[in-house]
Amino acid sequence: MSYDNVCKFLAETFAADLATWLLGESIALSKLEPSELSLEPIRADSLIFLESENLVLHIEFQTAPDEQIPFRMLDYRLRLYRRFPQKVVRQFVIYLRRTQSPLVYQSQFELEATHHRFNVIRLWESAVAPLLESPGLLPFAVLGQTSNPKEVLERVAQRLSAIDERTEQSNLMAASGILAGLILDQQTIQQLLRQETMRESSFYQAILEEGKQEGRKEGRQEGRQEGRQEGRQEGRQEGRQEEASSLVLRLLTRKLGIISANLQNQITQLPLPALEILSEDLLGFSTLEDLLSWLQTHQLSGQ
C-alpha cells in the first residue's frame, strides 16, 4: 500500500477532520467515486473526491513533485463542473515529503487566456498543533513544521494510546508509522509506536495479504513443479521460500521503487525466517539506505 493510499484511507475515514483542517468548518462529506467523472481513465491512486450537498472537496496527495499537477487540477475541475455545475469546488494539493523543487510552489495553470488556481499545502510548512487536535490528522503531524519530528511522533503516540476503539487505534497507529517513514528511520518508529498494535491494522493486513495471495499462487506453482522433479517435500519448501521472497520484493518495490538486481538476489537468498522479519520491518523503510542498513545488520553485503 502506497503513501497515497494511506492518505486516501484517512481522508475517506476521517473526512470531517480533513474538512475542518482544510476548509475551516466541519462539513459532512461522503466519497465521490472518480469513475463518475471519467471521460478517459483517471489517475485515481493519489486523489480523493468528497462531496456534500453544495460542495466538492478535491484533495490530491503527492510524495514527490509532478510537473503535470497544474494541468491535472484544471482537468479535474472541468470534469467536476460538467458533473456538478452548481456546486462549489475546493481543490488542495498536499505535498508530504520536503523538497526544494519549485514545482511544489505552483498553484495555478495558465494557458493563453485560461487561468486556474488551486490550493497547495506543503506539510513541512504546516503548523503541527492543528494536526494533533483530531484523530484523522494525527498521522500527518510528524510531517509538519518541526525541527524535532521524533518528539512530535512521541506526542502522536501518546494521543493514539488514549483512543479506546481498538480498530481505529490500530489503523491510525499503522498510518502514523507508514507516513513517519518519510522522515524517520524504522528503528525510531518501532521504538515509539507499538508494533503489535500496528500489526492489527487493516493497512498492515492489506499490504501483507495482497502480497501473500500472489506469492502463494507462484509458490504453489513452483512447489508443484519442483515436487515432480525432486520430491514433494522439497517442492513445498521451495514454494514457501519463493512465496516469501516474492512478497518481500513486491512490498519493497511499492515502498522504495526499483530494486537493483544485486539487491534482489541478496533478498531471494535470505532464509525463510529472515524474510518473514523483513516483511514486517520494511514498513518503516523510507529509502534504499534503510534496506541496505537492514541487510548489513543481518550480516549481508550492503551493496
| pLDDT (mean) for 176-189 | 88
Distance, in Å, from the CA atom of 116 to the CA atom of 73, rounded to the nearest integer, reads 8
Distance, in Å, from the CA atom of 52 to the CA atom of 288, rounded to the nearest integer, reads 42
| pLDDT (mean) for 22-36 | 82
Reduce the DSSP state of residue 110 to 3 states and report it: strand
Distance, in Å, from the CA atom of 214 to the CA atom of 83, rounded to the nearest integer, reads 38
pLDDT(180) > 60: yes
Give the predicted TM-score (pTM) of the model.
Answer: 0.69
pLDDT(65) > 70: yes
229 compared with 168, residue with greater pLDDT: 168
pLDDT at residue 198 in the model: 65
Percentage above 70 pLDDT, the chain: 78
| pLDDT (mean) for 103-119 | 95
Query: Predicted confidence band at 303 (pLDDT cuts at 50, 70, 90)?
Result: very low
| pLDDT (mean) for 206-210 | 59
| pLDDT (mean) for 162-169 | 89
Give the ranges where 128-271 is alpha helix by DSSP (H). 128-131, 138-141, 149-161, 166-180, 186-192, 195-198, 202-230, 232-256, 261-268
| pLDDT (mean) for 117-123 | 97
pLDDT at residue 61 in the model: 93
Cell of 181: 517513514
| pLDDT (mean) for 108-122 | 95
115 compared with 283, residue with greater pLDDT: 115
Sheet holding 55-62, edge to edge: 30-32, 47-51, 55-62, 88-95, 119-122
pLDDT(292) > 90: no
pLDDT at residue 302 in the model: 41
Percentage above 90 pLDDT, the chain: 39
pLDDT at residue 301 in the model: 43
| pLDDT (mean) for 270-292 | 82
Q: Are 284 and 277 in contact (CB under 8 A)?
A: no
Q: Are 200 and 166 in contact (CB under 8 A)?
A: yes
